[in-house]
Amino acid sequence: RDGMHRVIQFLHRLDKPVIAMINGPAVAGGLALALSCDFRIAADTARLGDTSGKFGLLPDEGGAWLFPRAMGLDRALKMTMLAEVYDARTALESGLVTEVVPAAELEAHTMAFARKLASRAPLAVRLAKAMMVRGLSLTLDQSLGEAALSVMVSNPSQDAREGVKAFFEKREAKF
């Protein structure tokens, strides 16, 4: 357990975007692992849920914290207490996954998504992730204060200079 906890904490704290590619079942601890990633792209054949309650167990791999944040408290309680496992479309509607794609296209789609993320301004991507993750536990005023500090780092950066230059030159920025 301690090892899985460390992996989930590491993924959640990583300052770069993390993508889970789900091609099969992501249940209980597997779902918690997927939810510790920033984006979850699932094959249309994937199944996601929490069966821990079926065995008298608890969502102890971070699920008790992650599930309600992804799908709301009432849905998370229902999923865990009734040991529900959902098809990919229902998981999408519930907030458990970011996208659903045909299984045959899963790897190509996920890699294209990753390449698109990698083409964005690295500093802005990292700061946006940090701001949004921390923002979940801050007040609006605190979040605005942190945003003001982050802008002081990002605006004078080489990334921002390239982004503005590319805009005026009507071309894609190269970071």
Structure tokens that stand for 21 in this block: 């590619």
> Model confidence over 147-160: pLDDT tens digits?
999 999 999 999 99
> Model confidence over 97-123: pLDDT tens digits?
999 999 999 999 999 999 999 999 999
**Over residues 118-129, mean pLDDT:** 96
**pLDDT > 90: what percent of the chain?**
97
Residue 40: pLDDT band with limits 50, 70, 90: very high
User: To the nearest whole number, what is the mean pLDDT of the chain?
Assistant: 96
**pLDDT > 70: what percent of the chain?**
99
> Model confidence over 61-92: pLDDT tens digits?
999 999 999 999 999 999 999 999 999 999 99
**Over residues 140-150, mean pLDDT:** 95
Q: Is the pLDDT of residue 1 over 90?
A: no
pLDDT at 114: 98
pLDDT at 2: 86
